[in-house]
Amino acid sequence: MTIRVKICGIIHPDDAELAIDAGADLVGLNFVPDSPRCIDLETAVAIAERAAGRVERVGVFRNAEPDEIERVLRRVDLDRLQFHGEETEEEVEEVDLPVIKAIRGADLEVAQAYPGTIVLLDHPDGKAGSGTPWDWSAAAELIESGHDVILAGGLSPDNVGAVLAELGDLPWGVDVATGVEGSAYRKDPGKLRAFVAAVRGAEKTVHETE
């Protein structure tokens, strides 16, 4: 199994290029209005065009109305959507594109409410996007139960390798924004490369011990 690496909060086409060069599998484009990484449609189009056919492009929304999502999709070519709010199972299933559903912490009961959907486990205290670590080991139960899981919330080049090694069973993916940024929410090429290298190193170690 290969762990997918998602670099979220891309705010410039050049940052998408850096993420791709570092070995990312997915890039996240943020459309949450009160997020510091929220981008306008013109920027989103430029990022999506730069990444087309090279990585999966994920549009991030939170409690967005269907017409707002449709407004974005009319302009921006996306491969997958990520929902970070209180979206119901029915609302998730209404979307034609594949979906990632963010939940707080490793809550098995909540994850089971979204069968067949990849669940992104973010900070249990609602500190999404803050870069604050939490106890990711709780994700093991969800992974063992067969859920496709993306670890998020406070991951960085310094801790992602240890987190994955401690889990044992590998998640579907990992997600990072703050942990690979420099100033003004721009991505740092050195941190991007270090993060991907740490993921691949942990992945190799786990495979060797199986």
Which tokens is 192 given? 């991007």
- Catalogue the E-assigned strands of 8-158: 26-30, 56-61, 80-83, 99-104, 118-122, 149-151
Torsion of Cα atoms, 162 then 140 then 20 then 34, to 10°: -100
How many Å apart are CA 195 and CA 179, to the nearest integer?
8
In order, the DSSP letters of 13-48 are HHHHHHHHHHT-SEEEEE--TTSTTB--HHHHHHHH
CB atoms within 10 A of CB 189: 17
Q: Give the catalytic positions in this structure.
A: 8, 122
Number of H helices, E strands in the chain: 8, 8
**8 A C-beta contact, residue 160 and residue 170:** no
CB atoms within 10 A of CB 54: 15
* Closest C-alpha among 89, 90, 88, 69 to residue 80: 69
